[in-house]
Amino acid sequence: MRAWERKGMVQPRRGEGGHRRYGSDDVARLRDVRSLLTRGHNPPALRSLFAADPPSEPVAGVRLRAARAKRGLSLREAAGKAAVSPSFLSLVERGLAEPSVALLQRVTAAYGGTLLEFFGAAPRDEATNKLVRARERLHLHGFDRVEMEHLVSFPGAVLQVDIFTVAPGGGSGGGYAHDGEESVFVLDGELDIWLDDVEHYHLEEGDTLYFRSTQEHRWGNLGESGARVLWVNTPPTF
């Protein structure tokens, strides 16, 4: 904590004799610092983050907070269902941390929905949803160097078809598992996928991987250039 104080990330008051006194706000700040450091943020980035005002419209956080409130869940209850710490879920809701794909999958599954339901546009009728023009694709951003493009918006579809664009160093941010099956086809670049932390697959352009989603899976781009991946899930997960 003294190292974090020297780096300007917490400033406790001083009592008699120069002893540090940490209040509830200091404790909350320290928890935020620890959560962000474990997510890979470096101290200079944290100093800048804490010095700045939070974004006026943290879209992911606003939507997740609204979904939690709609279900009548406290922050602690929601965090327990999603197997994440309440302090980090609070950071996400306040727009102070980018959620990983794994975190969003767990949270939305715990809330009983999908990312498309929480972040997508209002559904249209079946006739207009059969065709999705390239310019009409729904893009989801801000998920720890991962962008998702939804290619299918058909109501009640049993397939979810996306293009994931993963920047170097980006990935799922942890493992997750769910019912169903999925297929991964690499359009450009490279992607590494781990199943149950036992099987490891390095996929290159043109490679396909198919697996049951009940295996815990995590993935990341360990290369130096971006990767684009066609990802198919059934039933819809994201």
126 and 219 inside one domain: yes
132 and 207 inside one domain: yes
Least confident of 97-101, 108-112, 160-164, 194-198: 97-101
Q: How confident is the model at residue 65 (pLDDT cuts 50, 70, 90)?
A: confident
128 and 208 inside one domain: yes
Neighbour count for residue 98 (Cβ, 10 Å): 21
Residue 184, in any domain of the structure: yes
pLDDT given for residue 124 in this prediction: 54
- Condensed to tens digits (0 to 9), the pLDDT of residues 27-40 reads 766 776 776 666 55
pTM of the model: 0.69
Higher-confidence residue of 100 and 209: namely 209
Query: Could you tell me the CATH number of the domain that includes residue 149?
Result: 2.60.120.10
pLDDT given for residue 52 in this prediction: 44
Q: How far apart are CA 33 and CA 39, in angstroms?
A: 10
Which tokens sit at 137? Answer: 């694709």
Residue 230, in any domain of the structure: yes
121 and 218 inside one domain: yes
Q: How far apart are CA 104 and CA 58, in angstroms?
A: 14
Residue 226, in any domain of the structure: yes
Mean pLDDT, to the nearest integer, of 9-17?
73
Higher-confidence residue of 25 and 76: namely 76
Residue 212, in any domain of the structure: yes
Count of the separate structural domains present in the chain = 2
Residue 180, in any domain of the structure: yes
16 burial level (CB within 10 Å; 0-12, 13-18, 19+): exposed
Higher-confidence residue of 223 and 48: namely 223
- Condensed to tens digits (0 to 9), the pLDDT of residues 103-112 reads 888 888 888 8
DSSP assignment string, 43-82:
HHHHHHHHHSPPPS--HHHHHHHHHHHHTT--HHHHHHHH
Q: How far apart are CA 70 and CA 68, in angstroms?
A: 5
Residue 176, in any domain of the structure: yes
Amino acid present at 179:
D
pLDDT given for residue 35 in this prediction: 66
181: domain range? 117-234
Angle between helices 86-93 and 24-38 (to 10 degrees): 90
Residue 152, in any domain of the structure: yes
Residue 131, in any domain of the structure: yes
